[in-house]
Structure 1
């Protein structure tokens, strides 16, 4: 090494020791500007240089005093230069690491150990460089020094890897595989044995007590429910507005996409499991078998837990996951049937958007599709040809479709079809007699709610002894199923004067019981809903479905709102939020209610919003009307700082210049931890005859102190007003 360069490098080494010591002593007071953060983020890029150089230098140092090397001038000078370069690279790496550690998300004992072992290596390497030519520096000291430095390098690398990938990164795949394989299905807990392993594999390397990216920890239930810097991670029962799923569905090139680009991504099966878990209220204690046998979460979780060696083997290759992702749409999902299996299950939703084209588009994966769900789709006989392209189909669901026996005969070409569901179709006894003998591989067929009587089912079963015909569910107390909740079929839940309730259930013969007093309906004393049930005012209807031989459904709650008057024209007097424009002033009387999750662009169109100014509009009626109340329908979503109106003023009169204040009222503030909800607040006043009204809704100007955005302005979102 050139003498002048070596002297300069030695001076830089001395300065580096002083500078790093200063940084370590005054680290808590450091404020790192953005340009230095960029330099700090180069820490992972350069750290491999000092590791390699110092390892090589320590190896040479360990054998330095061997007779064949001790008098070798080249060996001595090369080692001296190598140690100097390694120490300087170590200095740069330590400085970058200190800068990087000042960013949010880096803290905890693992970081402390990584930082001090890394700095210790640099100081030891510097000391070795300065003392190695003294008279007392002999072979034992050299060997001990080299050994300590190598151990330090290993420890620093270990703690660095723990920060980046998690503390059990190396053994994690083996431990998770053992954990999933070891637990019997009847003992498996959904969170512990399914959801937590997903977090451990894909998330906790960045979100743990030692590496708090976004101030979020995903290693324990309490921290998961607490959320992070961006708010609540999940909303139990509502995956659409849960940050966990929103970030997972962002485009890969979006900087907020999680896991970030370059990290191992969530598979479609894992995303579906997380979605269903959140939809089932993100329960941390429920077992897999606590859910009904036909529940989607139970089916997927069971497949996820099934050891690979117990899965059915197929003679076709797996499809690339990127290809599957391209074929997934809002109304069609494609998922692996089980972990590490090439077999795929296809589910198609939304009857309004269905066409056989959705099946034809899957020609590239036709060999891999072994399960197809077309329940409640308007499937015709002409679509059967598209279905028969899936030559390896094992399971086909055609419940409540429009197929006939003539079209179903085409299924005889499917040599592997084992399970067929035809419940809710219009097939009768003669249809099944002609159909079933042609489906040679069939093992089960579901025929409940068809034209078959109990005697017909028994007759078919006797004629097909190798076929299990599921003809309904007898009230034997052994295996009844739970009914789905009833559904509201009214075109709108907002009405002018009166409304005949149209609440239905897809299964024939179901009784719907309801209440209007807030109590839960029962199967005996609660009134029976029929076509003559009419409401004439705001009502909250609680309804449950009942049928003999079935468990009663979960309770469904429907809100109906009376709005007697619609203005002939409305105009805004103040601008709306840029994102939440909806239909301007027309939004408030268009009989379209919004849903929770308005910060998602797909759902923002029904909400009018303001933050920095009042929401103000005037409406005109061509003929005078007499009013006595106005209700405001708004959203509460604590995580995104959406709060109720702080104050609502109602003005009315005969002209825009001749209006008086009719009433003003407030909406109650939510409490910390309240779940997102839709609420209505109403202002009442003595009857007034008006041709013009003005509404002023003021957003909350100071978010409460318990909120993470305390003191800031809240967002106010309103989708409808009810004028009576």
Structure 2
């Protein structure tokens, strides 16, 4: 591979540029000290500092020119950054030159030094914007100072959704993910790889590596390829140790691309399946918002280490309500796991059994051992076990769930024998028995005893 010397040397710019800044600031401190303590030695030190600062500035300018040659920066910001840097260097040299003249040379030199320092601050701000994104230096200013400098962030009210079907996939999910994880390096002002991910037009245009997204083609969509590479890869994104996309975010992007990467359709028009709807609801907290008026049992906060371990294992956890410590757990991301793997995951979930209020294990393969663990989750209010290979012989432990209100055991090979277990659930209000082997006579017999239970079949 041929060495690109201009880029090799240009990449020293972020290192080199700090040397003259430090030297010039040091010169400012020396000038302040000399105002109170006259010394020939101090005067010579100031002269040396100014000359060294100018020499360092020239080196920084040269490396900056080389670095800018690769492109990827906003042309207007780059131009201002470049010319302000050159002006700061010239003023610094003029500062050194005027100090060598008799009075009032020193006063003129001090004034020029102030101007040079101001120019350095402005140039540094623009450099920070190009390297780290717009508003990098003002983002964490105290609110009072943000108002003074006009940098106060615009307050965007949190969007609410009537239902998951009303969510506009690109606008409400995909672009916010990109905004949080990608646009600090891929925005109009800083386009690493000539890629802007801040808008539909930028995504459609793509960058040096080609199209960012190809509708219905996961393999050719460079965006997905980069965020799913091993973290150790030099091409992994986000780079520079920025927070990686979560498994849920990656799954949602995959689903969006697979369904055509449409920029206008909502979830209903995208014909999302149950898994996708659940992921979207969990990601946006739609159900949690709708449950806010429900009176929930009081529970202590779950152990943070246990929560972290469960999330790393692929279990989706979210609060049932913003004002409660109760949790909803879903195995939607680990449905392909083996029987033994599901058992291991349920054993890990046992660490939060006092907070576990809702559990979704549909489409997982559940063994007798798995049912015994689920039966120990005494706080469960809602349990979804659709299509989990259940049989009459293994569901007995579910009778222990005395707080369970809603149970879905549809699409399983259970018969009328299982009604004996359902009768033990004193709080049960609704159950789904769709596509099971229960009979109409069995249902009538069960409802004659449990009249308040709604049965879907």
Rounded Cα–Cα distance in structure 1 between residues aligned with 2:403 and 2:456: 22
Deviates most, 402-411 or 456-465: 456-465
Residues 635-670 of structure 1 show CA distances to partners (whole Å, capped at 9, x for unaligned) of: xxxxxxxxxxxxxxxxxxxxxxxxxxxxxxxxxxxx
Query: 1:207, 1:218 within 8 Å by CA — same for their partners in 2?
Result: yes
With structure 2 as the length reference, what TM-score do the two structures score?
Answer: 0.76
- Of 41, 45, 49 in structure 1, the residue corresponding to residue 19 of structure 2 is 49
Is 1:81 aligned with 2:48? yes
- Of 54, 72, 76 in structure 2, the residue corresponding to residue 109 of structure 1 is 76
Residues 279-290 of structure 1 aligned to structure 2 (within 5 Å):
279-287=258-266
Query: 1:343, 1:368 within 8 Å by CA — same for their partners in 2?
Result: no
Alpha-carbon distance, 1:381 to partner: 3.3
Alpha-carbon distance, 1:166 to partner: 1.5
Which residue matches 1:335? 316
Is 1:34 aligned with 2:4? yes
Greater per-residue strand proportion: 1
CA gap of 1:130–1:403, structure 2 versus 1, over 3 A, is: same
Query: 2:281, 2:287 within 8 Å by CA — same for their partners in 1?
Result: no
Which residue matches 2:205? 226
Which residue matches 2:180? 201
Query: 1:319, 1:365 within 8 Å by CA — same for their partners in 2?
Result: no
* Equivalenced residues, count: 429
Alpha-carbon distance, 1:196 to partner: 1.6
CA gap of 1:55–1:350, structure 2 versus 1, over 3 A, is: same
Is 1:367 aligned with 2:351? yes
Alpha-carbon distance, 1:41 to partner: 1.5
Please give the secondary structure, in 1, of the residue aligned with 2:53: helix
CA gap of 1:231–1:383, structure 2 versus 1, over 3 A, is: same
Rounded Cα–Cα distance in structure 1 between residues aligned with 2:259 and 2:311: 24
Please give the secondary structure, in 1, of the residue aligned with 2:236: coil
Which residue matches 1:383? 370
Query: 2:342, 2:370 within 8 Å by CA — same for their partners in 1?
Result: no
- Of 222, 234, 254 in structure 2, the residue corresponding to residue 243 of structure 1 is 222
Alpha-carbon distance, 1:252 to partner: 1.0
Which residue matches 1:471? 456
Alpha-carbon distance, 1:416 to partner: 6.7
Rounded Cα–Cα distance in structure 1 between residues aligned with 2:231 and 2:277: 29
Rounded Cα–Cα distance in structure 2 between residues aligned with 1:461 and 1:178: 53
Please give the secondary structure, in 2, of the residue aligned with 1:100: helix
Alpha carbon RMSD of aligned pairs, Å?
A: 4.2
Query: 2:216, 2:257 within 8 Å by CA — same for their partners in 1?
Result: yes
Rounded Cα–Cα distance in structure 2 between residues aligned with 1:346 and 1:176: 38
Alpha-carbon distance, 1:418 to partner: 5.4
Residues 510-533 of structure 1 show CA distances to partners (whole Å, capped at 9, x for unaligned) of: xxxxxxxxxxxxxxxxxxxxxxxx
Please give the secondary structure, in 2, of the residue aligned with 1:155: helix
Which residue matches 2:146? none
With structure 1 as the length reference, what TM-score do the two structures score?
Answer: 0.51
Query: 1:367, 1:392 within 8 Å by CA — same for their partners in 2?
Result: no
- Of 149, 153, 170 in structure 1, the residue corresponding to residue 120 of structure 2 is 153
Residues 289-368 of structure 1 aligned to structure 2 (within 5 Å):
295-306=274-285, 315-319=301-305, 327=313, 333-337=314-318, 344-347=329-332, 354-360=338-344, 363-364=347-348, 366-367=350-351
CA gap of 1:136–1:44, structure 2 versus 1, over 3 A, is: same
Rounded Cα–Cα distance in structure 1 between residues aligned with 2:427 and 2:405: 6
Rounded Cα–Cα distance in structure 2 between residues aligned with 1:412 and 1:427: 15
Rounded Cα–Cα distance in structure 2 between residues aligned with 1:218 and 1:459: 60
Which residue matches 1:183? 159
Please give the secondary structure, in 2, of the residue aligned with 1:86: helix
Which residue matches 1:522? none
Alpha-carbon distance, 1:319 to partner: 4.6
Deviates most, 132-141 or 306-315: 306-315
Rounded Cα–Cα distance in structure 1 between residues aligned with 2:404 and 2:235: 43
- Of 445, 448, 451 in structure 1, the residue corresponding to residue 431 of structure 2 is 445
Rounded Cα–Cα distance in structure 1 between residues aligned with 2:20 and 2:90: 13
CA gap of 1:74–1:203, structure 2 versus 1, over 3 A, is: same
CA gap of 1:101–1:189, structure 2 versus 1, over 3 A, is: same
CA gap of 1:399–1:320, structure 2 versus 1, over 3 A, is: closer
Query: 1:394, 1:417 within 8 Å by CA — same for their partners in 2?
Result: yes
Residues 94-137 of structure 1 show CA distances to partners (whole Å, capped at 9, x for unaligned) of: 22222221225345222222222223222222221222333464
Which residue matches 1:709? none
Query: Which of these two proteins has the greater Rg computed from alpha carbons?
Result: 1
Alpha-carbon distance, 1:198 to partner: 1.8
Rounded Cα–Cα distance in structure 2 between residues aligned with 1:242 and 1:338: 33
Alpha-carbon distance, 1:314 to partner: 6.3
Rounded Cα–Cα distance in structure 1 between residues aligned with 2:368 and 2:349: 22
CA gap of 1:297–1:378, structure 2 versus 1, over 3 A, is: closer
CA gap of 1:288–1:357, structure 2 versus 1, over 3 A, is: closer
Alpha-carbon distance, 1:222 to partner: 1.9
Query: 1:347, 1:372 within 8 Å by CA — same for their partners in 2?
Result: no
Is 1:421 aligned with 2:408? yes
Is 1:270 aligned with 2:249? yes
Residues 554-565 of structure 1 aligned to structure 2 (within 5 Å):
none
Which residue matches 1:603? none
Alpha-carbon distance, 1:346 to partner: 2.0
Rounded Cα–Cα distance in structure 1 between residues aligned with 2:69 and 2:370: 61
Greater per-residue helix proportion: 2
Alpha-carbon distance, 1:54 to partner: 2.4
Please give the secondary structure, in 2, of the residue aligned with 1:182: coil
Rounded Cα–Cα distance in structure 2 between residues aligned with 1:155 and 1:383: 63
Rounded Cα–Cα distance in structure 2 between residues aligned with 1:57 and 1:463: 91
Rounded Cα–Cα distance in structure 1 between residues aligned with 2:285 and 2:272: 16
CA gap of 1:286–1:443, structure 2 versus 1, over 3 A, is: farther
Residues 363-415 of structure 1 show CA distances to partners (whole Å, capped at 9, x for unaligned) of: 44543585654434443434313545767766543212332344223134557
Q: Which runs of 5+ in 1 are unaligned?
A: 1-31, 328-332, 473-724
Query: 1:384, 1:408 within 8 Å by CA — same for their partners in 2?
Result: yes
Rounded Cα–Cα distance in structure 2 between residues aligned with 1:240 and 1:50: 47
Is 1:409 aligned with 2:385? no
Which residue matches 2:147? none
Which residue matches 2:148? none
